[in-house]
Structure 1
Amino acid sequence: MRFHAVCAALTATAAAAALTGCGQLTGADGGTRKVTLWLMKGSASDDFIRKFTASFEKEHPGIDLQVEIQEWTGIGAKVNAVLNGSSKESADVIEVGNTQVAQYIETGGLSEVTLEGLRAWGSKDWLKGLADPGSVNGAQYGVPWYAANRVVIYHKDLFAAAGVKEPPKTRADWIAATQKLDKGDQQGIYLAGQNWYVLAGFVWDEGGDLAVETGGQWLGTLDTEPAQAGMEFYKKLQALGDGPKGADEETPPQAEVFARGQVAQIIAPPGQAAQIEQLNPALKGKLGFFPIPGKTADKYGSVLTGGSDLIIPNRTRDRAAAVDVITALVSEKWQTELARTMSYVPNKTTLAHVVQGNEGASAMALGAAQGRATPKSARWAEVESKNPIKPYMTAALTGQDPQAAARTASQAISKVLSSDR
């Protein structure tokens, strides 16, 4: 998913310095100071980067901002090398996936930004799914930058033909509407059997979790009663279509299935609508979006939040300038520009209004208020690599004992998260 304990205590003087602009300062030799920002490929457009760089340098004379684009493949080792000082490269601010921050916190080498978050960056309004993975024991290390999550993409014509006049607001209404849509060769919803991202949201809605930490040990919790209730709802919804029970949403790609025109709904990031329209131009203008419904109408369903945080290495050459870069990136001006340009969710609940007019992004922003992240363990990436959740889901959907399958998956998760590297 890209879409992860060192504590640098700040003295009052250092904190004050960090929270003031550094643009009027010059390097030790009186010249410009170079500040390096690593951004991931595809996170921001070239036009955004050009405009942001020009604006930042204008507002901070004496600073030369260098933006370097990094590939997602192999980025973990590359970031760790910067953090531990073994790299020939350096960076002052680094964009990382929100679920990656935990592993960098464990590795060490991150600068704490709790005070900046409270005083200058509006941390009380940050999206929980971005902020929580970037903190440990009340100390913040990752700064939310942007988010993305899944919504329901639906075929407006099929909804109208079935008499479904408006998007459902509750789970019960969603099931009722999907039953009307599931008829003949038409699928009410295409939901692959191993889409564990969607399952996570249903589990959270029931008050459960994928894993919890107790007494310093992580335990998989898919076999608990709330998690089982989430799986039961998933099973009920998945049965209202022909999604494969033994494959995930990319096997085959669900956008391709939807593009054939006989699927009423899929659960996906809104950006998949563009792929669907490219595959079938006849669907252009016929796709709608709504947040995943919750158990009650007053609260949308929980969603797995993907996106990015910004971190500052302890080894930064210029912490004050790094703070200034983040201050600019998380400002309302540049959050608005990024969200509208890339159809992202801004990093704060109070900025959701900036994507009004973009139906997909607006639906995503509404759901983002109920966003969560994967368990805050540095080893969660290893769980995803082995992914015992997928075979558990298939077992539950194909009539095997769901409790036994969940217990097996939970034990596998516990083993990975609590093992020594």
Structure 2
Amino acid sequence: MRRRSLLAACASAGLLAGCGLLPGGEDRRTVTVWLMKGSAPEEFLRRFTEEFERKNSGLRLDIRIQEWTGIGDKVQAAVDTGTEEGPDVIEVGNTQVSQYVERDRLLDLTLEARLHWGGEDWLPGLAEPGQLMSHQYGIPWYAANRVVIYRKDLFEQAGVTAPPRDRDAWLDATEQLNSGGNQGIYLAGQDWYTLAGFIWEEGGGLADDGGGGGWHGTLDTPAALRGMDFYQRLQALGEGPVGADEEHPPQAQVFARGQVAQMVAVPGLARTVVEQNPQLKGKLGFFPVPGRLAGRPGAVFIGGSDLVIPNNSRERDGAVAVVAALTGARWDTELARTMNYVPNKKSLAKAVGDEEGVAAMAAGAARGQATPNSPQWGKVEADNPIKEYMTKVLKGADPATEAKRASRRITETLTSVG
């Protein structure tokens, strides 16, 4: 890359020092890192870069911030072909790793994970999607998952003295809150990520690979149907639209303007609620999504990011050093505190325990899971039969019949070629 182009790329991310353009950086080997917009603040990246380059005197970092829109095709092109300016480390969504592993485009980091990085303590919902045949390709960076955001004042008015500790108590409390013109909960009919957690809590799944025998949809299993039954009972205690998801309309908007006692969302959405209705400042609380057993959080979908290294990286050793540093305890917990994320290891949850929403999220993250680890899963989400299934059931259709139909569609998509 010409000096002028490199300067422009670095300046856009505010990382001149990290790009080796300051005195003393010209003889260093460059490690190019692609991180996603919004994942880490500029000041965090600047401090990380300065310390990393100080400890690794032969390396300089070129951190380039990427937009989420269209990133899949851009990453695929980078790992397929590779260029002199291509990335050595890439941040990808935890559920996206499998599509790059399928084509043998990522560096196998199993040895590092087991011997040096304490991989046995990683959150399963981040670590497992980064694996194939027990080999680790995606290294967990940070996580986020849903909790229950609730109105403390409405709980007090309804006589609900404490957050429920299991699902039966959650239903009872929600019914108690569903009075006096209030909605006990706002739960859109097509919030399939929340449904997935209920299904996992029952021991079911969205799809299964049959122990390597081929993927098939599993919404029609008894466990998955029990998860849908719980969703149906909970959703009926509010006025969420049965034919739309949580973004249509945005549930934070509904929560902010209405007498809604609860919603299931990531804790950060509480800030949006308060921005839209400042009168709710100090009135919002958080608790983990309840599970079947008292005191044990329910299973939840966990989203977040893994770091991967393309096989075509020209600076593999430097790339490994960057991944080790970014995902290590020091920088990982600092990022979690800064951004209200969940750290990548269960043992690090205490680092965010002083913030109520993040503490609730971290408690749930220990039981977090990800979507089926199939390269074709993105196609399922693109034409999502789970949403249609949910709406039909909430409108009164037979759950078993509709679950079979949706499972067939999932199977057809996961077994399609190309």
Q: TM-score, normalised by structure 2?
A: 0.92
Q: Structure 1 residue 71 and structure 2 residue 46: aligned? A: no
Q: Does 1:375 align with 2:375?
A: no
Q: Pick from 292, 295, 302: which aligns with 2:292?
A: 295
Amino acid at match of 1:184: G
CA distance in 2, matches of 1:291, 1:125: 21
Q: Name the % identity.
A: 58
Partner of 1:206: 202
Could you tell me which of 318, 323, 327 is aligned with 2:320? 323
Distance in 2 of aligned mates of 1:261 and 1:194: 20
Structure 1 residues 66-215: aligned runs within 5 Å: 66-85=62-81, 89-214=85-210, 215=212
Query: For residue 308 of structure 2, what is the aligned residue in structure 1?
Result: 311
CA contact (8 A) 2:31 2:318 kept: yes
Match of 1:42 in 2: 38
Partners of 1:49 and 1:373 lie apart in 2 by: 27
- Return the offset for 1:119: 1.4
Q: Which residue of 2 aligns with 1:61?
A: 57
- C-alpha contact (below 8 Å) 2:301/2:371 kept by paired residues: yes
4+ residue runs over 2 A deviation: 86-89
Residue among 295, 319, 336 paired with 2:333? 336
- TM-score (normalised: structure 1): 0.92
AA paired with 1:256?
Answer: Q
Q: Tell me, yes or no, if the aligned pair for 1:82 and 1:89 is still in contact at 8 Å.
A: no
2:226 corresponds to which of 226, 229, 252: 229
What is the DSSP-based 3-state SS (H/G/I as helix, E as strand, rest coil) of the residue aligned with 2:102?
Answer: helix
Task: Give the SS at the match of 1:249.
Answer: coil
Residue 86 of structure 1, CA deviation: 5.2
Map 1:334-373 onto structure 2 (within 5 A): 334-373=331-370
SS of match in other structure, 2:215: strand
Question: Match of 2:348, as an amino acid?
Answer: L
- 2:141 maps to a residue whose letter is W
Say whether the 8 Å CA contact 2:82–2:312 is kept in structure 1. Answer: no
Aligned to 2:274: 277
> Helix, strand or coil: the match of 2:171?
helix
Aligned to 2:399: 402
Decide whether the 8 Å contact of 1:84 with 1:108 is kept in 2: no
Distance (Å, rounded) in 2 between the aligned partners of 1:376 and 1:216:
14
Counterpart-to-counterpart distance in 1, 2:386 and 2:115: 40
Q: What RMSD, in angstroms, separates the aligned Cα atoms of the two structures?
A: 1.1
Alpha-carbon distance in structure 2 between the residues aligned to 1:97 and 1:88: 24
1:337 is aligned with what amino acid?
E
- Deviation at residue 88 of structure 1 after TM alignment: 6.2
TM-fit CA distance, 1:331: 1.5
1:258 is paired with a residue of what secondary structure?
helix
- What is the CA-CA distance between 1:320 and the residue it aligns to? 1.1
Say if 2:257 is the partner of 1:260.
yes
After TM superposition, give the deviation of residue 269 of structure 1 in Å.
Answer: 0.4
Contact map agreement 1:83 1:108 (CA 8 A) in 2: no
Figure out how many residues of one structure are paired with residues of the other and give that number.
392
Deviation at 1:298, TM superposition (A): 4.0
Shift of 1:31: 2.5
C-alpha separation between the residues in 2 aligned to 1:316 and 1:299? 43
Residue 243 of structure 1 is aligned with which of 237, 240, 260? 240
* 3-state SS of 1:185 partner: coil
